[in-house]
């Protein structure tokens, strides 16, 4: 840290520190996959956090000079990012999903699912504007981001947010309270569907653990700060996805839809269920491995889904 301290006499403005942080991060071979995709954004977020300023502050502030204590605080955050290789969201305890702010810590994954874009678009064109869902299930809710975003964009919907992890549900509860949605979003401990027996929904959305063993073994260090229960899920990553596909139909109302993210494990899904006509979604802001199935399709291919679960 001594070397970093000597630079404070040469760096003066907010812009200086954003630029300097980006250079440090680029030289340190960090990985970006938790809300930002580049060194400058990470540096900018940390600088603004150190200064207790919002990320969308007017650009004119970039030329403002910093006092010594502010410089030291910024450099300390830069050091943490480099030495611990910790995602920025775990340093600031805040991230954005579907344009909404969420508290996060190491009890939950950092939200980064392309499903956020889907929610912002109210699932158009798959859900008609005059047919908004009244009941939504967010399976494997983690921080509660999908459930809370669904409740925010569908203001009439009741949303159940389920997760196996009590730690995750405690974070979800905090976010539900922060968004003032205690009446609308209900956190439930549940091993997939075990906690919602007898319930039925118009929409099931899931971003379950789906990372296969090969990807777990080769992950950058940044991911090792995240709870592994939220990432890995068996050799091919599909242990929970098999259950979701085999059982979702009985929890969906007529005309109900299932949206599920499987990321890089899309290759395993395509190989395992070759005869199933999944609708694979495209995203303007990037992301892949999200499919949609209707209740009718889940029923039509029930034998395939049941067989894959039983033979595993």
Tell whether 139 and 190 lie within a shared domain. yes
Tell whether 115 and 23 lie within a shared domain. no
Least confident of 40-54, 114-128, 224-238: 224-238
User: How far apart are the two ends of the chain, measured CA to CA in Å?
Assistant: 52
* Any domain includes 99: no
C-alpha distances (whole Å) from 101 to each of 32, 97, 111 are 19, 7, 10
Domain that holds residue 72: 2-92
If we measure between CA atoms, which residue out of 182, 208, 181 comes closest to residue 100?
181
Domain termination residue (choose one: 63, 92, 121)? 92
pLDDT digits (tens, 9 = 90+) for 227-279: 665 665 667 768 899 999 999 999 999 999 999 999 888 999 999 999 999 99
* Any domain includes 101: no
Cα 181-183-188 angle, rounded to 5 deg: 90
Tell whether 150 and 83 lie within a shared domain. no
C-alpha distances (whole Å) from 87 to each of 2, 113, 262 are 23, 16, 22
Cβ atoms of 222 and 30 closer than 8 Å: yes
Tell whether 30 and 84 lie within a shared domain. yes
Cβ atoms of 185 and 148 closer than 8 Å: yes
Q: What is the CATH number of the domain that holds 177?
A: 3.40.50.150
Tell whether 140 and 242 lie within a shared domain. yes
Q: Maximum CA pair distance of the chain?
A: 70
Q: What SS3 state is found at 128? A: coil
Tell whether 78 and 122 lie within a shared domain. no
Tally of domains within the chain: 2
Tell whether 78 and 118 lie within a shared domain. no
* Any domain includes 106: no
C-alpha distances (whole Å) from 182 to each of 94, 154, 175, 177, 270 are 20, 15, 10, 6, 38
pLDDT digits (tens, 9 = 90+) for 48-101: 999 999 988 999 999 999 999 999 999 999 999 999 999 999 999 999 999 999
Mean of all residue pLDDT scores within the chain: 92
Q: What SS3 state is found at 222? A: helix
Tell whether 229 and 276 lie within a shared domain. yes
Cβ atoms of 70 and 53 closer than 8 Å: no
Tell whether 52 and 167 lie within a shared domain. no
User: What pLDDT is stored for residue 1 in this prediction?
Assistant: 47
User: What pLDDT is stored for residue 3 in this prediction?
Assistant: 57
Tell whether 144 and 270 lie within a shared domain. yes
pTM for the model: 0.91
Average pLDDT over residues 105-127: 94
Tell whether 175 and 295 lie within a shared domain. yes
If we measure between CA atoms, which residue out of 171, 204, 48, 180 comes closest to residue 102?
171
> In angstroms, rounded to a whole number, what is the distance separating the alpha carbons of residues 291 and 262?
8
Tell whether 143 and 271 lie within a shared domain. yes
User: What pLDDT is stored for residue 98 in this prediction?
Assistant: 96
* Any domain includes 264: yes
Spatial CB neighbours of 95, under 8 Å, sequence gap ≥ 6: 34, 35, 89, 101, 102, 104, 110, 111
Extract the tokens encoding 220. 């950058």
Average pLDDT over residues 213-233: 68
């Amino acid at each position: 840290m001594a070397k970093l301290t000597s630079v404070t006499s040469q760096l003066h403005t907010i812009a200086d520190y954003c630029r300097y942080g980006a250079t440090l991060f680029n030289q340190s071979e960090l990985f970006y996959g938790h809300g930002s995709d580049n060194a400058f954004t990470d540096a900018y977020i940390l600088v603004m956090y150190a200064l207790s300023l919002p990320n969308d502050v007017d650009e004119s502030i970039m030329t403002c000079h910093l006092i010594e204590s502010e410089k030291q605080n910024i450099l300390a955050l830069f050091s943490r990012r480099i030495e611990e290789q910790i995602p920025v969201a775990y340093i600031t305890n805040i991230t954005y999903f579907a344009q909404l702010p969420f508290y996060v810590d190491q009890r939950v994954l950092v939200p980064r699912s392309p499903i956020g874009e889907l929610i912002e678009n109210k699932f158009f064109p798959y859900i008609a504007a005059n047919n908004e869902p009244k009941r939504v299930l967010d399976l494997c809710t983690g921080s509660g981001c999908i459930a809370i975003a669904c409740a925010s964009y569908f203001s009439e919907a009741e949303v159940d947010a389920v997760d196996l992890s009590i730690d995750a549900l405690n974070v979800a509860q905090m976010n539900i309270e922060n968004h003032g949605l205690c009446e609308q979003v209900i956190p439930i401990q549940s091993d997939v569907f075990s906690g919602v027996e007898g319930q039925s929904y118009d929409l099931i959305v899931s971003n379950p653990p789906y990372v296969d063993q090969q990807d777990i073994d080769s992950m950058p260090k940044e991911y090792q700060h995240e709870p592994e229960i939220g990432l890995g899920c068996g050799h091919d990553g599909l242990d929970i996805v098999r259950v979701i596909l085999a059982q979702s139909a009985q929890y969906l109302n007529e005309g109900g839809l299932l949206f599920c993210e499987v990321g890089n494990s899309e290759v395993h899904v395509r190989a395992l269920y070759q005869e199933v006509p999944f609708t694979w979604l495209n995203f303007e802001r990037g992301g892949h491995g999200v499919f949609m199935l209707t209740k009718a399709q889940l029923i039509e291919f029930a034998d395939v889904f049941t067989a894959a679960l039983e033979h595993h």
